Amino acid sequence: MSFLLIKAFEDLLKDGFSDAKFRKSDKEPGEYCSPEFFIGALPPKEKGNNPVYTEQSEYPFILNRFKVGVDDEDDSTVTIHTVCGSFTAGDIESGENDVVNMVMRCRRLILERQMLEKRFELVLPLKWHVGDKEDLNRQAHPYYTGELFTTWRLPAIARTLLLEEEKKVYGA
């Protein structure tokens, strides 16, 4: 069930970003691309002695991972943590602008939809921020990040009774 949710969430964002272009890196000035998408974590920088990614090659990116789940008497929910990242060693405003645009586009896509796969419902409020957690106005130049936290209601799970419990409740 959880994989269905995070995959549906990623598909929503991928579709909504298919026409979006952001700065690729300062090493390739003037080049733009759609963000890369990852589930769980960014890829490793090296695999054995073979570099998989250079320092900036995964930028721009959107990373989705599960943060926390809550089951109570009436409801089950899970929170997806989304990280948007951009890189620019040059113009400080362009890095900030790219990451703000990514966060705002994610926000719009999520709020427009609010239901995934006809079974996962968005639970408001949707929380987001751009910048460092301690000082939201500070970014770690040249790496810019923004985060969203979306909570989704999961389908109910029917409780099953053991045979002994059924006998107590319904009789023999």
Across 50-59, 61-70, 97-106, 117-126, least confident range: 50-59
In the prediction, which pLDDT does 157 show? 81
Bridging pattern class, strands 36-39 and 32-33: unpaired
Can you give the length of the chain in residues?
A: 172
Query: 56 is written with which tokens?
Result: 């900036």
Q: Which residues contact 166 (CB under 8 A, 6 or more apart)?
A: none
Which tens digits make up the pLDDT trace of 70-80? 988 888 999 99
Confidence of residue 53 (pLDDT cuts 50, 70, 90): low
| Tally of structural domains, the chain | 1
pLDDT reading at 56 higher than 60: no
Question: Would you call 46 helix, strand, or coil by DSSP?
Answer: strand
Bridging pattern class, strands 22-23 and 46-47: unpaired
In the prediction, which pLDDT does 46 show? 65
Question: What is the C-alpha separation between 106 and 100, in angstroms, rounded?
Answer: 10
Domain containing residue 110: CATH number? 3.30.2000.10
Residue 11 lies in domain: 2-170
Confidence of residue 128 (pLDDT cuts 50, 70, 90): very high
Report pTM: 0.82
pLDDT reading at 165 higher than 70: yes
